Amino acid sequence: MKLMSGNANLPLAKAIADYLEIPMTDAAVKRFADEEVFVEINENVRGEDVFVIQPTAYPANDNLMELLICIDALRRSSAKRITAVLPYFGYARQDRKPGPRTPISAKLVANLITVAGANRVLSIDLHAGQIQGFFDIPTDNLYAAPVMSADIQARFAGRNITVVSPDVGGVVRARALAKRLNNAPLAIVDKRRERAGESEVMNIIGDVDGRFCILIDDIVDSAGTLCNAAAALKQAGAEDVVAYCTHGVLSGGAVARVEKSELRELVVTDSIGLHEVVQGSEKIRILTVAPLLAEAIKRISQESSVSSLFD
């Protein structure tokens, strides 16, 4: 087994390598003067089982091209099997046609990764489960819920916890976390989205009065939905509100929005390489998913069960 990484999240790749106690593959992923991606693998990978770790977060197009060219370089170097490890799968939110004459970009990106030469895909908390079917190769979708539930139980044991979904579409995810937290009560924020990137909270389905509320979501981008949901929960009598999200995209003024919000804390994983503004925030805390990814990589390489990670 060999591990290789693009430039999207080198700290996560190194943490995975440290957990598995194997060195990173010696490879150069650089740019020409005109910003074209250049990849050169400086060691023999013929007949090897290679895992390429590269989330396709901001800048999404650059990181995606790095991934595709790394895969192509490995295929042309006669690697036995190439697994694209995508802690965060970019373009996942474009997984259907919401209106006429719009693309299904998630399917297009899946085709690109497959055609480049990947034999397998490993990701965490895909925005929609059906994206696994967009790939014509085996796809493993890991869940960050075990990492989050362990952190919640360690920090907030004894509190009157209610798990809250920030929208109707996230109820399955919230219910799965609630089950791990000894079948904690569930609530839903019913909101109406007027336009892309903005949300208006309407009401709360469920009793949150005097409860310690934990909002759960897969992606936090502008943070508008979470901040509005936190305000609505406080107005409904919630004792405190903490948010757990797998992928901290946090674009634009999201960090400032979180700092001014009713949220006590926002917890995100290191699936995306987080910038200095995020790391300097007093309200944002980072959980690592390196052990989870490392265990999945080891099990795939050993041809053992990945699903048993979540039993």
- Return per-residue pLDDT of the chain as tens, 311 residues: 999 999 999 999 999 999 999 999 999 999 999 999 999 999 999 999 999 999 999 999 999 999 999 999 999 999 999 999 999 999 999 999 988 999 999 999 999 999 999 999 999 999 988 899 999 999 999 999 999 999 999 999 889 999 999 988 889 999 999 999 999 999 999 876 566 655 565 689 999 999 999 999 999 999 988 998 999 999 999 999 999 999 999 988 899 999 999 999 999 999 998 877 787 788 999 999 999 999 999 999 999 999 988 87
127 appears as a binding residue in the annotation:
yes
Together in a domain, 170 and 182: yes
Together in a domain, 272 and 168: yes
Nearest alpha carbon to residue 95 among 64, 146, 133: 133
Helix, strand, or coil (residue 190) = strand
| pLDDT score, position 119 | 97
Question: How many domains, in total, are found in the chain?
Answer: 2
The domain in which residue 10 lies consists of 2-142
Together in a domain, 17 and 120: yes
Together in a domain, 78 and 127: yes
Together in a domain, 167 and 261: yes
pTM of the predicted protein model: 0.91
| pLDDT score, position 113 | 97
Parallel, antiparallel or unpaired: strands 37-41 and 27-31:
antiparallel
Q: What are phi and psi of 57, to 5 degrees?
A: -90, -170
225 appears as a binding residue in the annotation:
yes
Together in a domain, 14 and 87: yes
Would you call 191 a catalytic residue per the annotation? yes
Q: What are phi and psi of 175, to 5 degrees?
A: -65, -40
224 appears as a binding residue in the annotation:
yes
**Residue 220 located in a structural domain:** yes
Which distant-in-sequence residues (6+ apart) come within 8 Å of 74 by Cβ? 4, 41, 45, 50, 52, 82, 117
| pLDDT score, position 196 | 60
Together in a domain, 72 and 13: yes
Q: Which residues pair with 186 in a beta bridge?
A: 163
Together in a domain, 165 and 87: no
34 appears as a binding residue in the annotation:
yes
Together in a domain, 112 and 189: no
| pLDDT score, position 207 | 92
Together in a domain, 184 and 112: no
**Residue 113 located in a structural domain:** yes
Angstrom distance (rounded) from CA 306 to CA 311:
10
18 appears as a binding residue in the annotation:
no
Residue owning tokens 């190194």: 14
Q: How far is CA 33 from CA 27, 36, 165, 230, in A?
A: 19, 7, 46, 46
Angstrom distance (rounded) from CA 225 to CA 137:
34
| pLDDT score, position 80 | 97
Together in a domain, 138 and 150: no
132 appears as a binding residue in the annotation:
no
Exactly one of 80, 107, 191, 234 is catalytic; name it: 191
193 appears as a binding residue in the annotation:
yes
Together in a domain, 77 and 47: yes
| pLDDT score, position 144 | 93
**Residue 10 located in a structural domain:** yes
